[in-house]
């Protein structure tokens, strides 16, 4: 039995198989609409994350299965004094697969070690959120049909952004991917990513301050939010914040076939006017997130559809 704890749990080959499966699901949804008849997913969300929870529930329902679970610790009693190990043993009697979101790093790992059903880490604190990374990979793969030779811009808070670190770590496993890292000085990528992931894998990358300088060369732009609180002082924030807001003016600098991704929710880092641009792919990304989760559920449950 397999679990999904980290985006790197699957080999590149296994990931490719899963993305192929997700593509087939996108093309032939009816073929899969009864693949999980009679099966149940438990969504155990110890902190609310409505988008992620509903994406998992949608995925299971699209496969003909059903859902049990809870959406916050407040509406649940399982957290009251019961260990995660005991809870997952109980849930193993109810469901066939489980997606767990937990504020404590490592909680899903404890669950997996004690579970008799596959456990999916749906986010554990600031640590991992592997299905976001699978969604990001799936979106790039679907829009560009390859990773090789792509120049991928990552923009915003590269220091604390969990999704950015995971995405880089996942992408360096493909050959020929180049990165442009766009952030203020204060929010540059941490050393352990720069040295241990990028340099250690001999990956070409560049670090720039302004989005305008990067835009013309990108094939993919992955936007994230820059929080005011992250800056050293108000002055710096005011001087630089517009560097990281994407609008139609800046989009004129980008290639015609550059796509914009965003893990959502966005605040103001992408102007609403950009939504109409055919290169805006952040809502398509949500749709791909459903397909890849369907493929993941089928893979972990070892369900074959012919």
Numbered residues of the known binding site for carbamoyl phosphate: 51-52, 101, 129, 132, 264-265
Site for its own copies in 86-145 (CB under 8 A): 86, 89-95
Residue 46 CA to residue 77 CA, distance in Å, equals 10
Neighbours of 212 (CB within 10 A): 13
Beta carbons of 46 and 73 less than 8 angstroms apart: yes
Residue 63 phi/psi, 5-degree rounding, is -95, 5
Least gap, CB of 219 to its own copies (angstroms) = 24
Q: Are 100 and 44 in contact (CB under 8 A)?
A: yes
Which CB, 179 or 289, lies closer to its own copies? Answer: 289
Q: Which of these segments, 76-84, 131-139, 168-176, 245-253, binds its own copies (CB under 8 A)?
A: 76-84
Could you tell me how many residues of this chain bind its own copies (CB under 8 A)? 47
**For residue 112, what are the contacts with CB-CB under 8 A and spacing of at least 6?**
3, 5, 88, 119
Residue 220 β-bridge partners: 152, 259
- Closer to its own copies by CB, 174 or 288: give it: 288
Check binding of 85 to its own copies (CB under 8 A): yes
DSSP 151: E
Separate counts of helices (H) and strands (E) for the chain: 11, 9
Site map 238..277 versus its own copies, x via CB under 8 A? --------------------------xxxx----x-----
Contact flag: residue 156 with its own copies (CB under 8 A): no
Span of 19-27, 46-54, 177-185, 251-259 interacting with its own copies by CB under 8 A:
46-54
| Cα–Cα distance for residue pair 170/191, rounded to 1 Å | 17
User: Which residues are at the interface with its own copies (CB under 8 A)?
Assistant: 33, 38, 40, 42, 48-51, 54-55, 57-58, 61, 66-72, 74-78, 80-82, 85-86, 89-95, 264-267, 272, 283, 286-287, 289-290
């Amino acid at each position: 039995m397999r679990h999904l704890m980290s985006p790197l749990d699957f080999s590149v080959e296994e990931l490719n198989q899963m993305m192929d499966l997700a593509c087939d699901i996108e093309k032939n949804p009816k073929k899969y609409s009864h693949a999980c008849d009679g099966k149940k997913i438990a969504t155990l969300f110890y902190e609310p994350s409505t988008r992620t929870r509903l994406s998992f529930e949608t995925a299971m329902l699209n496969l003909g299965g059903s859902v049990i679970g809870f959406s916050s610790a407040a509406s649940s009693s399982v957290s009251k004094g019961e260990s995660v190990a005991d809870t997952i043993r109980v849930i193993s009697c109810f469901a066939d697969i489980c997606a767990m979101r937990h504020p404590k790093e490592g909680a899903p790992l404890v669950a997996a070690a004690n579970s008799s059903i596959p456990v999916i880490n749906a986010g554990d604190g600031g640590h991992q959120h592997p299905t976001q990374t699978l969604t990001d990979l799936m979106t790039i793969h679907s829009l560009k049909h390859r990773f090789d030779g792509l120049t991928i811009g990552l923009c915003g808070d590269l220091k604390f952004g969990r999704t950015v670190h995971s995405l880089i770590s996942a992408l360096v496993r493909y050959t020929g991917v180049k990165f442009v890292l766009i952030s203020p000085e204060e929010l540059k990528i941490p050393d352990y990513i720069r040295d241990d992931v990028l340099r250690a894998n001999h990956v070409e990358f560049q670090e720039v301050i302004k989005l305008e300088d990067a835009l013309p060369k990108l094939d993919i732009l992955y936007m994230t939010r820059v929080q005011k609180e992250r800056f050293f002082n108000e002055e710096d924030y005011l001087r630089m914040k517009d560097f990281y807001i994407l609008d139609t003016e800046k989009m004129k600098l980008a290639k015609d076939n550059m796509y914009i991704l965003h893990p959502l929710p966005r605040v103001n880092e992408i102007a609403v006017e950009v939504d109409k641009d055919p290169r805006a792919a952040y809502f398509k990304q949500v749709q791909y997130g459903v397909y890849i989760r369907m493929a993941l559920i089928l893979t972990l449950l070892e369900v074959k559809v012919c």
